[in-house]
Structure 1
Amino acid sequence: MSVRSARALLGLYRYCGAAAYPLMGPYVAWRVSKGKEDKARIRERYGFASQQRPDGPLIWVHAASVGEAIAVIPMVQLILAYGVSIVLTTGTVTSARLVEERLGDSVIHQYVPLDLKPAISRFLEYWKPDLAIIAESEIWPMTILELGSRNVPQVLVNGRMSDRSFASWKKRPNLAEALFENMAHVVAQSETDGERFRALGARPVTVSGNLKVDTLPPPVDEAALSALKRQIGQRPTWAAISTHEGEEKMAAEIHAALRKRHPGLLTLVVPRHPARADELAAQMTSMGLGLVRRSSGEPVRADTDILLGDTIGEMGLYLRLTEIAFVGRSLSATGGQNPLEPAMLDTAVLAGQNVQNFRDAYQSLLKRGGAKLVQDRNMLAGAVNYLLLNENVRRNMMAAASATVQDMRGALSATMKALEPFIQPLVVQAGLRRAGKN
């Protein structure tokens, strides 16, 4: 297929999206029933605005979910300091809450419209962004095409191309080139990601590092932290965080195996999706373990085996209660979750070997000795046991993890440098508009 034919095919795809639009109702309703959508704001997913567009230049920033939102918040704050308005979209209920907590009304938050022509067109026609900055690991063709048809510069920041996505796009190189030619700039996380975007036709591509490294450590409610520390006292602890199905049960089994060797052991289990908490609580109590759900407000007692972290936005709390953290989606699932938050908080990092989505972060941590990969449940149990027994080894891992994060910083300044040619004209425009009103 030639690039010309690929462009024609993408044009047809835009109108197929319009045909599919009426069929999305049942799907969105299902997501609402599962708590994955905000029922009160569901019209935003169809591109209907729920707030007034401000006068003057406007930048659309999109961050897919919690991780991306955390990563772009420092960037958003720097742009806001220039006096340019931002409409910030996210795709999940939890990320919307995070934006409200950390940015308040300094930005306009909307849920991202569905990647279908009617929804995207309605969104763009209302907000009329002068620039789109996208932090998203998925590629949404309709959004890219609709922005391109309106000549809105679009910049992908913190860009990552997974092994699976790259293999898929490589089978359709002309289609990829016809899509990525709409990008004004790609700011990739790593040299590997950068090379992959270049191979698919993106130009220009620069490498910044991972924006998540330049964020502040996850915040904490100091009063809640002090209360839990008093309840836990000197008990040994370890955590299994960002876990996926199968990994919570594994953590509970490891706890049951280790508590005889480590009297008073407390295991923190923080699932990636807190909506699974009812199921997990039932599963662990059926194993004869004493469990306290963080959401219940009940204190951690001397006979509590598991503290189930079923709340949103409290990762900073959980990580400050331990010095050892297994990072999930790496044993029973694939791809891994972000190890940088525990590393920022001086935590020894353990993970399975399926960490492709955060390969560069793990390579840096492994090189410095801040992380260790395990093959299975038994090897994880052995690693937790070893770190609990050997304080010097544990402290060295903790220090190495923290030092690794410090060495990786700099992505924010590199990203802002790449964005400067796009933002500065809007800063001038906003300044002239304010001067004209005075």
Structure 2
Amino acid sequence: MPQSTVNRPWLWFACYQLGWHLLLPVVLLRLWWRGRKDPGYRQAIAERFGFSQGIQPGAIWVHAVSVGETRAAQPLIEAYLQEGKSIVLTCMTPNGRRTGAAIFADAIAQGRLQQVYLPYDLCWSVERFLKAAKPTLGLFMETEAWPTIVFRAAEINLPVYLINARLSERSARRVARFGNAGRSLFQAFAGILAQTELDAGRYRALGVKHCEVVGNLKFDVVLDPVLVKQGLAWHAHLEKNHRLMVCAASTREGEEAIILEAWQAVLQMHAEESVSASGSASTAQPLLCIVPRHPERFTEVAELFRAYGLMVLRRSEINLDAVDLQNTIDLKTAVVLGDSMGEMPLYYSASDLVVMGGSLLPFGGQNLIEACAAGCPVLLGEHTFNFQQASQDAIDYGAAMRVGNNGSLATTLAGTIIRILQDQQQRKAMREAALRYAAHYQGATTRIMAALKGRTT
């Protein structure tokens, strides 16, 4: 690799390493603290320092920080496995590791895929990992750019690519504030394979020369057919009882309070309209399914809704294999809490409308592609900067709608939900548009593999 591509800013890098070492006690305490709710944080800690026992050298190295990135990498990893390649899959979170273990159980059992935690970005832990793994190619998902790893890989001629890459305008401004250090980091990648032209343009503005647009791997993810079948059966049960379900997906802290206020208004408006239409509140009320993004918040969110007198049923209490769900999900249930991991296709397939979490408050949004692939219309808040192009494309297709913050967000959201639930033709049109949108943008896996062909060491 030409030396010009390895422009390590040494003064900045020395300060970065010093900061890492000074913060190590805090990092370890944080692991131990988070382990109170999730014991996975207290397991395999040695791997975080490069001590990866029994790792088989010579594999393709894929790094997916957590759950979403691991699922997005699935079609690419499976394509490499079908070619007979071995994979070492790194992540940062226990939930990411569990997701990988579930998705790639067969490959793990056959010894074709190994999972370890990504080493902390310290010179000595990174060096130990690289010497043990000896990967032939590194593929980092979406936004993962760790200076020590990226610079060291360039120096030893290990091609490391940032794939399915995205860079929001806000993140680009943050990188620019680091000046040459920030630009050098992205220039040190062997190449960047971006999701959209918007993302590619921001990388090129940082001086990245080897950047091309390949699309978004999330469009290639195939929904689990078992979960889809269960979801459709659930939807059929609700339909039989004349109920519509709204899924608030991947919600973040602070958003559940907005959704709670909106849902109370939805139930109130529904009750008033039912009385007005029939003289009595006989029409079955809609059902809310809320799925917090972080499992450690399941109980907290359930208690929030119960505190306002709403009957909450947890997914773990529902037997979807039952012949008749009536005894489990009765008409008094106002909220189902999605307290499970990896079941979003189930929730989407059972729903008539999705409110996408992460977009109501400035978190940047969450992945709406899976909901569209299930044929579910999507409502988005104003904050979708992490999925800018995908969100706009879905809106342009008619698969999604943005809810503006005109006065009270909860009131506006409630009004939009009621309007769509009442308009069967609009739901049908949005559902068909969602399926067209999801199908149109497939193919990133093939394009990425073509771009990387022959790029291993």
Q: Which residue of 2 aligns with 1:258?
A: 266
CA distance in 2, matches of 1:5, 1:409: 36
| One-letter amino acid matched to 1:103 | F
The one-character-per-residue Cα deviations of 1:215-243 (angstroms, maximum 9, x if unpaired) are 11255446754774575343121111111
CA distance in 2, matches of 1:5, 1:188: 22
Matched, 1:119 2:119: no
Q: Is the 8 A contact 2:6 2:155 kept in 1?
A: no
Q: Which residue of 2 aligns with 1:434?
A: none
**Gap change, CA 1:229 and 1:372, over 3 Å in 2:** closer
Q: Is the 8 A contact 1:130 1:153 kept in 2?
A: yes
Matched, 1:94 2:95: yes
Aligned ranges 1:393-408 → 2 under 5 Å = 393-408=426-441
Q: Is the 8 A contact 1:267 1:307 kept in 2?
A: yes
CA distance in 1, matches of 2:253, 2:420: 25
2:447 to 404, 414, 417: 414
CA distance in 2, matches of 1:92, 1:121: 21
**Gap change, CA 1:220 and 1:250, over 3 Å in 2:** farther
Matched, 1:49 2:52: yes
TM-score by length of 1: 0.89
The one-character-per-residue Cα deviations of 1:373-400 (angstroms, maximum 9, x if unpaired) are 0122222111111111110011101111
1:372 to 401, 405, 413: 401
**What SS is found at the alignment partner of 2:425?**
helix
What's the offset of the Cα at 1:297? 4.0
**Gap change, CA 1:293 and 1:420, over 3 Å in 2:** same
Q: Which residue of 2 aligns with 1:77?
A: 78
**What SS is found at the alignment partner of 2:248?**
strand
**Gap change, CA 1:253 and 1:218, over 3 Å in 2:** farther
**What SS is found at the alignment partner of 2:246?**
strand
Q: Which residue of 2 aligns with 1:313?
A: 342
Q: Which residue of 1 aligns with 2:418?
A: 385
Matched, 1:288 2:324: no
Moved more, 23-32 or 200-209: 23-32
Aligned ranges 1:222-237 → 2 under 5 Å = 224-225=230-231, 228-229=234-235, 232=238, 233-234=240-241, 235-237=243-245
1:8 to 7, 10, 14: 10
CA distance in 2, matches of 1:402, 1:148: 41
What's the offset of the Cα at 1:22? 4.6
Q: Is the 8 A contact 2:194 2:213 kept in 1?
A: yes
**Gap change, CA 1:322 and 1:389, over 3 Å in 2:** same
Q: Is the 8 A contact 2:228 2:345 kept in 1?
A: no
The one-character-per-residue Cα deviations of 1:124-173 (angstroms, maximum 9, x if unpaired) are 12111121111041422122122223221101100111222200122333
Moved more, 113-122 or 237-246: 113-122
CA distance in 2, matches of 1:167, 1:151: 29
**Gap change, CA 1:361 and 1:227, over 3 Å in 2:** closer
Give the gaps of 5 or more residues in structure 1: 427-438
Percent of matched pairs sharing the same residue: 33
**What SS is found at the alignment partner of 1:145?**
helix
CA distance in 1, matches of 2:227, 2:20: 46
Q: Which residue of 2 aligns with 1:249?
A: 257
Moved more, 34-43 or 109-118: 34-43
Q: Is the 8 A contact 2:144 2:162 kept in 1?
A: no
Q: Which residue of 2 aligns with 1:25?
A: 28
Q: Which residue of 1 aligns with 2:155?
A: 149
CA distance in 1, matches of 2:6, 2:77: 37
The one-character-per-residue Cα deviations of 1:154-211 (angstroms, maximum 9, x if unpaired) are 0110011122220012233322332223211110111111111111122210101111
CA distance in 1, matches of 2:146, 2:211: 19
Q: Is the 8 A contact 1:228 1:300 kept in 2?
A: no
Q: Is the 8 A contact 1:64 1:136 kept in 2?
A: no
Aligned residues: 420
What's the offset of the Cα at 1:404? 1.1
Q: Which residue of 2 aligns with 1:302?
A: 331
Q: Which residue of 1 aligns with 2:62?
A: 61
Q: Is the 8 A contact 2:231 2:348 kept in 1?
A: no
CA distance in 2, matches of 1:177, 1:254: 43
CA distance in 2, matches of 1:39, 1:292: 31
Q: Is the 8 A contact 1:188 1:194 kept in 2?
A: yes
CA distance in 1, matches of 2:23, 2:266: 53
CA distance in 1, matches of 2:255, 2:170: 23
**Gap change, CA 1:79 and 1:4, over 3 Å in 2:** closer
CA distance in 2, matches of 1:118, 1:296: 47
Q: Is the 8 A contact 1:53 1:127 kept in 2?
A: yes
**What SS is found at the alignment partner of 1:278?**
helix
1:194 to 189, 200, 220: 200
CA distance in 1, matches of 2:287, 2:183: 52
TM-score by length of 2: 0.86
**What SS is found at the alignment partner of 1:206?**
strand
Q: Which residue of 2 aligns with 1:208?
A: 214
CA distance in 2, matches of 1:222, 1:180: 39
**Gap change, CA 1:224 and 1:345, over 3 Å in 2:** closer
**Gap change, CA 1:340 and 1:226, over 3 Å in 2:** closer
The one-character-per-residue Cα deviations of 1:341-373 (angstroms, maximum 9, x if unpaired) are 110011111010111110111111111111100
Q: Is the 8 A contact 1:18 1:117 kept in 2?
A: no
**Gap change, CA 1:332 and 1:180, over 3 Å in 2:** closer
2:361 to 332, 351, 356: 332
Q: Which residue of 2 aligns with 1:267?
A: 288
Q: Is the 8 A contact 2:63 2:91 kept in 1?
A: yes
